[in-house]
Amino acid sequence: MQINQIKETCLYIKDLEKARDFYHGKLGLPVITHAPEKLIFFRSGSSVLLCFNPDFSEGQDVPPPHFAHGKQHIAFEVPADDYDTAKEELKEKGIAITYEHEWPNGKLSAYFEDPEGHVLEIVPTGLWEKD
């Protein structure tokens, strides 16, 4: 088996309207589908961000039940040349950068949170590339 990439990433969020306001309204991710109180899915480049209400997804039969509680983490890649601009855009939209990390290759990444408290990150293209 050859795995090309992670196609979907899932966060568990109880207030899906706040998720819509944040991920679509502030971060600009297009909405793919939305079932109030159950789920909302967003397009992120060639990937999909699935947001499920854990109260719904824990009890469903198909697909198999899944859920999580607590602070989950995902990172969004931005073009390396746009990293500083992306940080400024977050700040302009009232999203605080909670931490900025310098990696061994000298590249930076910035952490912030969504309304549910999930730890999000912006990383520049090439962060995980081999030198």
Final residue belonging to a domain, choices 36, 63, 90: 63
pTM over 0.95: no
Residues 120/76, Cβ–Cβ less than 8 Å: yes
Asked if residue 130 has pLDDT above 80, the reply is no
Residue 58 is part of which domain span? 1-63
Are residue 52 and residue 85 in the same domain, yes or no? no
- pLDDT average, residue stretch 15-41: 97
Query: What total of structural domains would you count in the chain?
Result: 2
- pLDDT score for 131: 61
pLDDT in tens, 56-85: 999 999 889 999 999 999 999 999 999 999
User: Do 91 and 45 fall within a single domain?
Assistant: no
For the segment 29-47, the average pLDDT, to the nearest whole number, is 97
What does the pLDDT look like over 114-129, one tens digit per residue?
A: 999 999 999 999 998 8
Sign of torsion over alpha carbons 125, 118, 70, 67: negative
Q: What percent of the chain lies above the pLDDT cut of 70?
A: 99
- End-to-end CA, the chain: 26
Q: Are residues 46 and 22 in the same domain?
A: yes
CA distance 39 to 35: 5
pLDDT over 90 percentage in the chain = 91
**Could you tell me the pLDDT band of residue 40, with boundaries at 50, 70 and 90?**
very high
| Domain harbouring 18, CATH code | 3.10.180.10
Beta bridge partners of 101: 109
Residue ending a domain, among 48, 63, 78, is 63
**Residue 51 · residue 42 · CB < 8 Å:** yes
Please tell me whether residues 44 and 77 are part of one structural domain: no
Contacts 24+ apart (CB under 8 A), 78-82: 78/122, 78/123, 78/124, 78/125, 79/124, 79/125, 80/107, 80/124, 80/125, 80/126
| Closest C-alpha to 119, from 50, 57, 70 | 70
Helices marked H in 36-115 — which ranges? 54-57, 83-92
Instruction: Say yes or no: 42 and 91 in one domain.
Output: no
Residues 6+ apart with CB under 8 A from 17: 36
Choose the final residue of a domain: 27, 48, 63. 63
- Reported as a single tens digit per residue, the pLDDT across 41-53 is 999 999 999 999 9
